Structure 1
Amino acid sequence: MNTLTYKGYTAKIEFDPDDNILFGNIVGIRDTVGFHGETVAELKDAFREAVDFYLESCEKSGRVPDKPFSGKFVIRVESSLHGEIVAAAVNAGKSVNKWVADTLATVVHAHS
């Protein structure tokens, strides 16, 4: 998946072959914020403008803008994997949360 990030907000980017444009939507917030451009440069500019407009609109209306991500999420795994995760964390001298966060960061950064 192609994404852009600006001021902590992430957008999913897609291509519309019928209209021959790139378009995107900010993910992880309740509001719908979209943008588009005919070139990558136009798309990036439109994304930054959309985020800035969203933040300005929230401020003018007295609303608190949605934060893109809270830093918390719940994951369900099989009990056997749960046990393996706990064992790996203990072996690494870390809490389960720290071990999972470090492991996920390693995987994400290896693939970006």
Structure 2
Amino acid sequence: MKTMTYRGHTAKIIYSDEDECFVGHVINIGDDIISFHGDTDAELRVAFEDVVDLHIKVKNQPENPPQKHFAERFLSRLRQALHL
């Protein structure tokens, strides 16, 4: 499996027999799903750079604040009778 890197983002590249082209998926991008495709290495590189640039542009707009991470805790009070 081939990878590409651009502006700190990495994509995994595979060849799709079904689509008959190269397909890339940007990894470690949070909750977003970013895919792109191209028939040649050059087309794939251009498509990858375009989607990363667009992703960065959209994320930096004021109406799109950064995603907040939540604590993985749930606090609850139990009645004394329920404590072991």
Residue 59 of structure 1 deviates from its aligned partner by 1.3
Tell me the equivalent position of 1:62.
64
The question of 1:37 aligning with 2:38 is answered yes
- TM-score with structure 1 setting the length: 0.54
CA distance in 1, matches of 2:53, 2:12: 17
- TM-score with structure 2 setting the length: 0.71
Partner amino acid for 1:47? F
Higher relative CO (Cα under 8 Å, sequence separation at least 6) belongs to 2
Runs of 4+ in 1 over 6 A off after TM superposition: none
Identity of aligned residues (%): 37
Structure 1 or 2: larger helix share?
Answer: 1
Q: Of the two, which has the highest radius of gyration?
A: 2
Tell me the equivalent position of 1:48.
49
Tell me the equivalent position of 2:8.
8
Number of equivalences? 65
CA distance in 2, matches of 1:50, 1:10: 12
Partner amino acid for 2:19? D
Q: Which runs of 5+ in 1 are unaligned?
A: 66-112
Structure 1 or 2: larger strand share?
Answer: 2
